[in-house]
Chains A and B, each alone.
Chain A
């Protein structure tokens, strides 16, 4: 079955460490997105990519970095510059064929905790 796989499901980061969250899709979608979710704040867009080797900053990109070397993969690195990284991170993908891509497909999320 096609879908999006996020790993790991839980991740713990020490102060000053960079960590990378994985996102892989086999839906042949062109566009991929990273969102951060905090209680009561809905979804906030971190980065998105509409084509390989290109990506755009979202609303809260500071302290994060991404790459898009393959169509299927869009990893997110949470750097030590992100001062409050504890959150639930969601990856999504969509086609480019319609507004909103006919609706996004979401992964099951990664919960990152600073220890």
Chain B
């Protein structure tokens, strides 16, 4: 069965600084990977997804993620963080022939002035 680990529970970044949120997955075949963002009291919004092809994936709100098979990672990045990016971020993995996603426990991003 697939699994996802987000090793950082909280991360604080200064506004304007770069951001990288870590996601490691466990799955024997090619995974289908997703990043979601959740603002307080809201549902989750899909930021980006990786199915195949180019390992660098562009998403909404200026985010990107890179799939690295050798490291079983799918880290989320943003070159310059804005105060409005403060939220909780979830990584998820899907498997071939199976629609259920497995979610990580989330990373809460705090943005300092």
Contact = CB atoms under 8 A, between A and B. Distances in A.
A88 B99 CA distance: 23
Contacts of B99: 31, 50, 94, 96, 99-101
Mostly, the B contact residues are strand
Contacts of A50: 99
A100 B105 contact: no
Given A99-B95, A103-B34, A103-B49, A90 B43 contact: yes
B43 A42 contact: no
B94 A100 contact: yes
Interface stretch (A13-21, A62-70, A77-85, A107-115): A107-115
Interface of B: 9, 32, 34, 36, 41-46, 49, 51, 90, 92-101, 103-106
Interface of A: 4, 6, 31, 33, 40-43, 45, 48, 50, 88, 90, 92, 94, 96, 98-109, 111
